[in-house]
Structure 1
Amino acid sequence: MTLFGYPVEHIYLWLLVINGILIILYLFFGDVIEAIDETTFIKPVLILAWIIFFSASGLIFEKLSFISSVFGMIISAIVAFLLTVLLNVFVFIPLANAEHSLSYTEESLIGRVGRIIISIPEDGFGEIFIESKSGMITKPATSIENIPISEGEEVLVLKIEKGVLYVVPYEYE
C-alpha cells in the first residue's frame, strides 16, 4: 500500500528515524519544554513514545504479517496506545513521584549526630555531613551558640530553620 505516494514501510521507517532524532533533542531540551508548559495532561514524551510504538509495530506488521495495511495501522495504533499507557503508569509516574520523595524529612534530622565538613565560623555558616541508611546527607549548618566549630568535629542537630541546621558540638558521656 502507498500513502502520499510512498510505500507505507518507508513512512513507518521515516517516522522511526525522525522520532529517534526528536527523542535525542528532547533529552537535551526536555526540561526547558516541561518548564514552559507544566500543566498539560499529555506530555511531549508520551506523544513521542506513542509515535515510536506506532511506527515500530506498524513496520513489523507490514513486514511480517499478511493482514491489510489499514488493519495493520489500526492494530498498531491500539498497540501503541496500550504500550504508552503502560510506560506512563509503570515508568514515568513512579519516576516523577520518586523525584519528590526523599528518604528523610528535615524534621527527622533533629537529634541526629553529624560531622562538620566545612568549618563553621563565629556567626557564620558551614556544612554538616550526616550518614543515614539511605546514603549521605550534606546540609548547611550554623552554630546555635554562635561559636566557631572546626572541621571534623561531631555535632548534634538541635533545630532546623529554612533548610539550615542549627548545631552544637557533640560531647560523648
Structure 2
Amino acid sequence: METLYLGCLAGGALFALISVLFGDWIGDALGGAFDALSFEFLQPIVLAGMVTVFGGAGILIERYANLTPALGMTAAVLCGLASGLLLYFGYVKPMRGSENSVGYSMNDLVGKIGEITVPVPEKGYGEVMVHMGGSGNTLHTAFSFDGDWIPSGVRIVVIDVVDGTLGVSELDKQEKGLE
C-alpha cells in the first residue's frame, strides 16, 4: 500500500509542477479536446490536489495510525476528497467569478452619466469624466451635442460618439425635456 501512496504523492506533485510550468502550452496543444468530458468540479488543480493529499495522508495514516489497510485507505480517500472540496470551494470557484475585464467600447459610453472637467464651448472641444461603475472613471474629449456652452462641473449624459469624441448634453436639460 505504501507504494501506491508514494506513487500518488509523487505523481500528484509532479502533475502540479508540470501544470504550473507547461499548463498553457499543453492546453493550447490539446485545443480543448477534453472540454466535452469536463465537469466543473474536476479541474486539474483539484484533481492534482486530491491525488497528492490522498498519497500523503495514506503514508501518514499507514505509519502512525495503526489502522487496518482498509480503514487506512478509507481515511486517505476521505482526506483526498476533503482537500478537493476545500480547493474547489476555497480557490477554484472564487477565482472563476473574479475574471473581469475593464475594457470597454466607445459605443458603451452612450447613455452614461459624467461630469464636465474642461468647459465645452459651443463649437469646439472640452473634456468629460464619465463614471464607468465598478471600473472607475475615464476622461474623454467631448463636444456639445446641442451646440450649447457647457461649463465645468456640470453633470452630462453621453448622447453620441463621433470619431472617438463624445457628444454630450447637460443632464438637467435632458431631464427637464422629459418632464
TM-score when normalising by structure 1? 0.55
Distance, in Å, in 1 between the alignment partners of 2:166 and 2:80 is: 55
Q: Which residue of 2 aligns with 1:148?
A: none
> Residue 65 of structure 1: CA displacement?
0.9
The secondary structure found in structure 2 opposite 1:12 is: helix
> Residue 99 of structure 1: CA displacement?
1.1
Whether the 8 Å contact between 2:110 and 2:159 is mirrored in structure 1 is: no
Q: 1:11 to 1:165 in 2, by over 3 A?
A: farther
> Residue 62 of structure 1: CA displacement?
1.4
Distance, in Å, in 1 between the alignment partners of 2:15 and 2:8 is: 10
Whether the 8 Å contact between 1:12 and 1:58 is mirrored in structure 2 is: yes
Q: Which residue of 2 aligns with 1:167?
A: 166
Distance, in Å, in 2 between the alignment partners of 1:110 and 1:51 is: 50
Q: 1:63 to 1:29 in 2, by over 3 A?
A: same
Deviations 1:82-116 (A, max 9, x none): 221232123211110111487x9x5699223599x
| Seq. identity, % | 16
Q: 1:14 to 1:129 in 2, by over 3 A?
A: farther
> Residue 19 of structure 1: CA displacement?
1.8
Distance, in Å, in 2 between the alignment partners of 1:38 and 1:114 is: 49
* Paired residues for 1:1-173 under 5 Å: 3=1, 8=2, 10-31=3-24, 33=27, 36=32, 37-39=34-36, 40-41=38-39, 42-100=42-100, 110-112=112-114, 158=158, 166-167=165-166
Which range moves more in the overlay, 128-137 or 15-24? 128-137
Whether the 8 Å contact between 2:6 and 2:55 is mirrored in structure 1 is: yes
Distance, in Å, in 1 between the alignment partners of 2:96 and 2:130 is: 26
How many residue pairs were aligned? Answer: 142
TM-score when normalising by structure 2? 0.54
The structure whose residues are more often strand, as a share, is 1
Distance, in Å, in 2 between the alignment partners of 1:160 and 1:76 is: 63
The structure whose residues are more often helix, as a share, is 2
Q: CA RMSD in A?
A: 4.6
Distance, in Å, in 2 between the alignment partners of 1:30 and 1:160 is: 44
Return the letter of the residue paired with 2:166. V
Question: Which one has a bigger Cα radius of gyration?
Answer: 2
The secondary structure found in structure 1 opposite 2:113 is: coil
Q: 1:62 to 1:158 in 2, by over 3 A?
A: same
The secondary structure found in structure 1 opposite 2:98 is: helix
Q: Which runs of 5 or more structure 2 residues have no equivalent in the other structure?
A: 118-127, 145-155, 169-179
Distance, in Å, in 2 between the alignment partners of 1:23 and 1:129 is: 46
Distance, in Å, in 2 between the alignment partners of 1:81 and 1:20 is: 16
